Structure 1
Amino acid sequence: MEHKRLLKVRRRQKARKPEFRRYCWNKKLRLRNKSWRRPRGLFNKLRKRYGGKWSGRIPVNVGFGSPKAVRGLHPSGYEEVLVYNPADLEKIDKERQAVRIASCVGMKKRLAIEDKAKELGIKVLNPSG
C-alpha cells in the first residue's frame, strides 16, 4: 500500500520537475542529448544563479529526487530484471520483480521465455506482439 502511494508521489514530482539541460545545450550540437553537468566556470551565471536568461533556470538540486523506497522501480511498481534465456526466470521473485527480455534475444527464445513466464506467473514488461 505504501509503495502505491509513493509511486503516485513520484509521478507527481516528475511531472513538476524541470528538464535539466546542460549549459549551452542550444549552441553546440554535441551537447544536445547529453546529461546534466554542473557548470564550473569562474564567471558562469548559471553556477552563480543570477543574471540574464539564466536567472530563471533552476540547476539540479537535492530536492528533485524521488522517494527512496521507489527509486529505480518500474512505474508499475516492479523491480526490472533483464532476462536472456528461460533458465533466468527461475531466479525471479514474482511478487517484487518483473522481467524485461533483452534486445539481443531472438524470436524463438523470446517466445520460449514468454511461455515460461506465463506458466510461472511472472510479468513481462516488453512482450512481443
Structure 2
Amino acid sequence: MKEEREREASEASAMKKRQRLKAKKPDFKRQESWRYKRVKESWRKPRGIDSKMRKKVKGWPKVPNVGYRTPKEARGLHPSGYREVLVRNPDEVRKVDPETEAIRIAHQVGARKRVEISTVAEEMNIHILNPRRAPELEEEFEELTELGEEEAEEASE
C-alpha cells in the first residue's frame, strides 16, 4: 500500500516536471524551413558539412538531444495522468484498472458497441478519453433498434 502511494506521488511529480520541461522545450524545425517555402518544417537531422545547426552554432535553432527527454515515470502517460488503453469491445473494458488506466475507444467501433462500452465504463468509473457525443449516440442506437424491430415484424408477417 505504501509503495503504491509512493509510486503515485512520483508519477504526479513526474507529470509536473514533464509539463515544465515541455514548456521550455523549443519547437524543433528543419534547417532553412523558415527560408524556403518548399522545405517543410517537419524535423530532419542536419547533415551538411558546413551546417550551422549541425555544428550547434550560437544563434541557430536547437537540435534535439537526450537532454530534452521526459521523466521515465511520465513517459507514455496521457496528460490526464492515466495510461491509455485502446478498447474494441466491452470485454476489454472489464480488464482495465480504473485507478491507473483510461480507455480510448477504437475508431472502427460502431454506434451500438460504442454505447455498450461507454455504459460498462460508467459502471466501473473508468475515464473515456474520446467520449464522442454519447447522448446523441444513444438516441441513434435506439432509433436503429426500433427500425430493426419493425423490419423483423414485417419480415415475420
TM range (shorter): 0.7 to 0.9
Q: Which has more radius of gyration?
A: 2
Superposition TM-score, scaled by structure 1 size: 0.85
Superposition TM-score, scaled by structure 2 size:
0.71
Q: Counterpart of 1:115 in 2: which secondary structure?
A: helix
Report runs of 4+ in structure 1 exceeding 6 Å deviation. none
Matched to 2:120, the amino acid is K
- Counterpart selection for 2:83 from 79, 84, 88: 79
Q: Identity percentage over the alignment?
A: 44
Q: Deviations over 1:36-74 (max 9, x none)?
A: 2221111211101227xxx33111122111111111101
Structure with more contact order per residue of length (Cα contacts < 8 Å, sep ≥ 6): 1
Whichever residue aligns with residue 118 of structure 1, its letter is E
Q: Which has the higher helix share?
A: 2
Q: Which residue among 45, 49, 53 is the counterpart of 1:46?
A: 53
Q: Which runs of 5+ in 1 are unaligned?
A: none
Mark the runs of 5 or more structure 2 residues left unpaired by the alignment.
1-8, 134-157
Per-residue CA shift, 1:20-47, capped at 9, x if unaligned?
Answer: 1122333254623x3x222111121110
After TM superposition, the structure 1 = structure 2 runs for residues 76-115 of structure 1, keeping only pairs within 5 Å, are: 76-115=80-119
Note the aligned Cα RMSD (angstroms): 1.7
